[in-house]
């Protein structure tokens, strides 16, 4: 995760709200495979489970990053929240399958980080150079290329999750942008 000295701007959060029965392992696999196939390193930074009288409450945080250049990295943050989660087994096509009934909230956020290699954090002069590069040299490239491309890729990821959950709002109107 970005430290205080590096420049990282997080985006607005996209949320998927779902209540019902779903294949949790399939949803995990879809998100992980989507990120891994695009060159992201995925780390689970938080896993918390609380057992309640009716179901469980579970929270997971994933952080994924991809180095774009020696100076720029893309970050993707996926937060999973499950409320009243109950697992049960069903037989589908002669095979046992574990499904989950829960209230699910998936939050997806992205960020573009400058100075991923932390080369401009050593002295005050380096930090001023980084600020100058961020505000004057790379501002348009950040806004029109890196951040824009990453935002549309997150739309694609959210649409992919919705398809896996079999939600009615399938598809992505921004699919062919990048």
- Specify if 105 maps to a domain: yes
CA distance 123 to 143: 27
DSSP 8-state code for residue 158: H
Tell me the pLDDT of the chain averaged across its residues. 82
Q: Would you say 131 and 137 are in contact if contact means Cβ atoms under 8 Å apart? A: no
pLDDT of residue 177: 60
In a domain, 177, yes or no: no
CB 33 within 8 A of CB 42: no
Is residue 128 included in any domain, yes or no? yes
Q: Where are the beta strands (DSSP E) in 25-69?
A: 41-51, 56-67
* C-alpha to C-alpha distances, 8 to 2, 26, 167, nearest whole angstrom: 7, 31, 33
Residue-wise pLDDT tens digits, 77-89: 999 999 988 888 8
Contacts of 139 (CB under 8 A, 6+ apart): none
Instruction: Please check whether residue 24 lies inside any domain of the structure.
Output: yes
Distance CA 15, CA 12 (A): 10
100 within domain boundaries: yes
Structure confidence at residue 62 as a pLDDT band (50, 70, 90)? very high
Any domain includes 40:
yes
Whether the CB-CB separation of 150 and 40 falls below 8 Å is answered with no
Domain membership flag for residue 77: yes
Q: Are 26 and 164 in contact (CB under 8 A)?
A: yes
pTM of the model: 0.79
Rounded Cα gap, residues 146 and 168, in angstroms? 30
144 is a domain residue: yes
Contacts of 13 by beta carbon, 8 Å cutoff, 6+ apart:
107, 108, 109
Percent of the chain with pLDDT over 70: 79
Structural domain that includes position 20 = 7-164
Domain count, the chain: 1
Per-residue pLDDT of 85-125, as tens digits, reads 888 888 888 889 899 999 999 999 998 887 766 666 777 77
């Amino acid at each position: 995760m970005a430290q205080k000295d590096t420049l990282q701007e997080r985006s607005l959060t996209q949320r998927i709200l779902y209540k019902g029965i779903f294949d949790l392992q399939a949803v995990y696999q879809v998100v992980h495979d989507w990120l891994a196939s695009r060159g992201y390193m995925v780390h689970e930074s938080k896993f918390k489970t609380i057992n309640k009288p009716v179901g469980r409450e579970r929270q997971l945080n994933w952080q994924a990053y991809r180095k774009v250049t020696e100076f720029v990295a893309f970050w993707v943050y996926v937060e999973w929240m499950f409320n009243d989660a109950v697992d049960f087994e069903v037989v589908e096509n002669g095979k046992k399958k574990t499904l989950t009934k829960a209230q699910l909230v998936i939050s997806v956020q992205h960020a573009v980080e400058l100075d991923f290699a932390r080369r401009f954090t050593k002295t005050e002069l380096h930090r001023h150079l980084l600020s100058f590069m961020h505000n004057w040299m790379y501002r348009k490239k950040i806004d029109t290329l890196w951040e824009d491309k990453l935002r549309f890729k997150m739309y694609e990821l959210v649409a992919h999750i919705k398809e896996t959950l079999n939600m009615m709002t399938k598809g992505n109107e921004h699919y062919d942008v990048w």
